[in-house]
Chain A
Amino acid sequence: MTRAALFRSALFVLVVALLEILCRVGIIDKLTMQPPHRIVIDLWRILASGSLNAAIAKTLGNAATAFVLAMVVGVASGVVLHRLKLVRETLDPLFATYYAIPIFAFYPLLIILFGLGDAPQILIGFMLGVVAVIVNTLNGLDRVPRTLMKTARIARMGPVATVWSISLPYAAPYILTGAKLAVAYSLIGIIGAEFIMSRGGMGYEISFAYNNFDNATMYPLILLILLVSITINMLLARWEKRLMIRRGQR
């Protein structure tokens, strides 16, 4: 482990220890926060009892759906837009300012349109992720060297075959960057929507626990989401790095 990583781990342990002490001594009261060790034990208890399995499955399932939608529509749109120059140019300002727009502001509208089910949440997750995928796909396709495209023409490959066998594989690392973002955005979208207004899922459970002063449930769930989110993002980042190194692009 590098010196910096060691230091970071030590810092983390220090902070947790500090919280533990402050909680036990009573400076942080029980209504605000539980001692860290209690949170971990409660999390274990909840997971073991399986009482929240339905909520976890719902959240992760919806997030996965939103992610797949964002990837499929995103990559396909990216491929199409790459060829339709005028459309791409017209949409360019939209892509440039898209992530400045509060997409969650559309949630009420989606609820009115589709009712309070899974659809509005999945759509929010989709809307958040799809543009990241499109932009990164376009970026990757832009970088396909002309020599590769010429090779395809000489081999008499049609446009579909070229895209499938040459352009997309070349652009894969960049598409992966988009996927990484889409995963994060899908989770953020689903959980955020569940928080604001929902009938189930992890976000809903945390919100419910908060409104019922149930810290014993709320904190473990927050910890769980943090752990899941950080782990997924870390794994994806490592995969992305490996792909880039293999291609000599880092």
Chain B
Amino acid sequence: MNGAGKAAWLNALRLVVVILAAWQLLYWSVGDVALRSPLATMAFLGKLVSTGPFWAHLGETSRAFAGALLFAIVIGLSVGFLLGLNRFANEVLEPVLVAVYSIPKITLYPILLLMFGLGMSAKVAFGALHGVIPIALFTINAVRNVRPVLIKSARTMGLGPLATVREILLPAALPEIFTGIRIGFALTLIGTLLAEMFASQRGLGFLLMNAIGLHNVDLIMALTFILVAFAATVSSILLFLDRRLHSRA
């Protein structure tokens, strides 16, 4: 697989170069009034990470995101397994999940704010709301698509229901569950960030929105860059792991 692996790396590198070039070109055509060059952004970023307040905001966002992700995974997996194993419950509730998946969830955020008040809980709840649905949906699918012959084989080898779930169902469903968690990770991040951009006094999202009023282009570019780079990098790693898990199945 090494030849294909190397080709993928080169390809990704090529993409990064193209994006940087496009960025630079855009900067040259728009100018300093609204953009900064890649180099200037990196320089500013270097200065930014040495300031105290930045870390406080980063900490806030990280804590909110981690909490939201934890809830999303735990609830998502539980619901996913429940509906995956019980056919009737699935028929009843899956359409509800799919419907919630496609609505603009930001419209529900004020309700969460009224329920949880301003602060960390609302952010965590909102982030979790974004991530829990793909995790649940993918887990349902993963459990339901476990080939029956694997379960039958387990039975013929004397495994009881609990052991079957633990030793057959889980490993067999893992690749698809991991895909759900990968997508859930990304969506939870987006949800957490969105919450901070709408109604928060702390966090990277707040910093970003605040910078508009101050017309602090450097800050906007630096923050946008960190957020996008972080999301893209972690997602790529998760995607790589995802593909490896699926290649064995």
Contacts and interface: CB of A to CB of B under 8 A. Distances in A.
B102 A100 contact: no
Contacts of B104: 187-188, 191-192, 225, 229
Contact of B231 (A102, A197, A206): A102
Interface residues on A, range: 35 or more
Contact of B93 (A8, A196, A226, A229): A8
Contacts of B11: 89-90, 92-93
B73 to A, nearest CB: 16
B221 interface: yes
A234 to B, nearest CB: 8
Contacts of A104: 190, 193-194, 197
B113 A100 contact: no
B157 interface: no
A32 to B, nearest CB: 5
B163 interface: no
A93 B233 CA distance: 11
Contact of B198 (A2, A93, A196): A196
Given A197-B209, A230-B99, A206 B107 contact: yes
B109 A195 contact: yes
Interface stretch (B47-55, B147-155, B173-181, B222-230): B222-230
Given A32-B114, A108-B224, A112-B215, A93 B96 contact: no
Nearest to A191: B104
Nearest to A232: B102
A115 B91 CA distance: 47
Contact of A230 (B103, B211, B215, B221): B103
Contacts of B18: 90
Nearest to A107: B197
Interface in A154-176: none
A151 interface: no
Given A4-B88, A192-B106, A229-B102, A105 B208 contact: yes
Nearest to A218: B110
A32 B115 contact: yes
A100 B114 contact: no
Please report whether the interface of chain B is mostly helix, strand, loop or mixed according to DSSP. Answer: helix
Contact of B96 (A8, A195, A196, A234): A8
A14 interface: no
B227 A102 contact: yes
B42 interface: no
Please report whether the interface of chain A is mostly helix, strand, loop or mixed according to DSSP. Answer: helix
A16 interface: no
A90 B34 CA distance: 28
B30 A100 contact: no
Interface in B1-33: 8, 11-12, 14-15, 18-19, 30
A97 B217 contact: no
Nearest to B219: A108
B30 A113 contact: yes
Contact of B220 (A11, A102, A112, A230): A112
Among B11, B103, B239, max chain A CB count under 10 A is at B103
Among B30, B34, B106, B220, max chain A CB count under 10 A is at B106
B212 A197 contact: yes
23 contacts: A2-B91, A4-B92, A8-B92, A8-B95, A92-B11, A96-B239, A97-B235, A99-B186, A100-B231, A102-B227, A105-B228, A108-B208, A109-B221, A184-B102, A188-B105, A197-B209, A206-B107, A207-B110, A210-B113, A215-B114, A222-B107, A222-B108, A225-B103
Interface of B: 8, 11-12, 14-15, 18-19, 30, 34-35, 88, 91-93, 95-96, 99, 102-111, 113-115, 183, 185-186, 189-190, 193-194, 197-198, 208-209, 211-212, 215, 217, 220-221, 223-224, 227-228, 231-232, 234-236, 239
Interface of A: 2-4, 7-8, 11, 31-33, 89-94, 96-97, 99-109, 111-113, 184, 187-188, 191-192, 195-197, 203, 206-207, 210, 215, 218, 222, 225-226, 229-230, 233-234
